[in-house]
Amino acid sequence: MAAALWRVHVHGHERLARGPVETGPVELLAEGLSVDDLLAGSAGTLEYVLDGPGAGDLPAGATVLAPAAGQEIWCAGVTYLRSRDARMGESAGSGDHYEQIYHADRPELFPKMAPGRVRGPGEVIGIRADSGWDVPEPELAAVADHRGRVVAYTIGNDVSSRSLEGQNPLYLPQAKVYTGSCAVGPCLVPVGRAPDHAEMRIRLTIVRDGEAIYTDAVSVADMYRTPQDLVDWLYRAIDFPVGAVLLTGTAIVPEPEFTLRAGDEVTTEITGLGRLRNTVEVVGAVREPAAGKASG
Ligand code: DO4
Ligand code: MG
């Protein structure tokens, strides 16, 4: 079983560890190393550290953290036909921009989470109290180093409010960015040790009250773009000194009647990358707006 890189919490400290994708971290790596160092380093740093000397068995009580530290999390959208069709459907006849962007050279890219905000395996993910139609978006996440090379993969969930997104495209930041709207993990698998992205399958399972109420699986080969092409666009005019994580879009869209509820357990599995599981909670509150809008 190939070793993957895990970010763990041990006795109050963040550490890196290695262990199989399937079973979890088993051995600590040298103290003082972080994901930031690996993505800020020269080509091959990730593999070099992963194959380097260990620093002892993983102590009991260690918990797995999101495998991102100082990295911004970005998302690409409308990279699969299924997503294009869903966006056009939810915009009730005013979704031509989705058709255009699906075919355009320049992809849709949007910032999702500032460093430190993304959730990890086992943590809660959020749905907004002021939204009524909410879905997980299980996506292949490309992890790029400071030069903009995709060096690893992990799993990402771009949790989204379809009500807000469908009402007006200018509400997209509120549909996409709020507390708990993104999780990544469980670990980083170097590109050279992962299946080719086109060989991967993404499977989503949602369990409610102990029963699997939704499951679907898609092939990453259906993506209209490649992870590296998306990252090239992302790095065109911004620098990321400690790298970045880019979720590459969803092709799993539950039927319109479906919405997430508090307590739902959402699991995404991707071939060769393991499994990311989170439970849903409601975040925020529905508040009446302050009296009156400015006139004019
Ligand atoms: O344009 C809206 C976002 C679409 C998206 O997040 C996706 O396709 O995954
Ligand atoms: Mg998405």
Sign of CA dihedral 214, 159, 185, 139: positive
pLDDT band for position 231 (50/70/90)?
A: very high
The C-alpha atoms of residue 227 and residue 246 are separated, in whole angstroms, by 8
Spell out which residues have Cβ within 5 A of ligand 2, the ion: 137, 158, 250
Instruction: For 130-155, write each residue's pLDDT tens digit.
Output: 999 999 999 999 999 999 999 999 99
Amino acid 295: pLDDT: 58
Amino acid 93: pLDDT: 75
| Cα 158 to middle of ligand 2, angstroms | 5
Q: What percentage of the chain has pLDDT greater than the value 90?
A: 89
Would the pLDDT of 230 be above 60? yes
Nearest CA owner, ligand 1 atom 4: 77
Q: Which two tokens stand for residue 289?
A: 């707006």
Overall average pLDDT of the 200-221 stretch = 98
Domains in the chain (CATH in brackets) are 3-64 (no CATH), 72-283 (3.90.850.10)
Q: Which two tokens stand for residue 103?
A: 């075919």
Overall average pLDDT of the 118-125 stretch = 98
Amino acid 292: pLDDT: 65
Instruction: For 176-207, write each residue's pLDDT tens digit.
Output: 999 999 999 999 999 999 999 999 999 999 99
pTM, two decimal places? 0.96
With the most atoms of ligand 1 within 8 angstroms of its CB, the residue from 73, 78, 91 to mutate is 78
SS3 140: strand
pLDDT band for position 87 (50/70/90)?
A: confident
Pick 42 or 91 by higher pLDDT: 42
Q: Which atom of ligand 1 is nearest to the CA of 84?
A: 8
The C-alpha atoms of residue 291 and residue 77 are separated, in whole angstroms, by 36
Instruction: For 10-63, write each residue's pLDDT tens digit.
Output: 999 999 999 999 999 999 999 999 999 999 999 999 999 999 999 999 999 999
Overall average pLDDT of the 210-224 stretch = 98
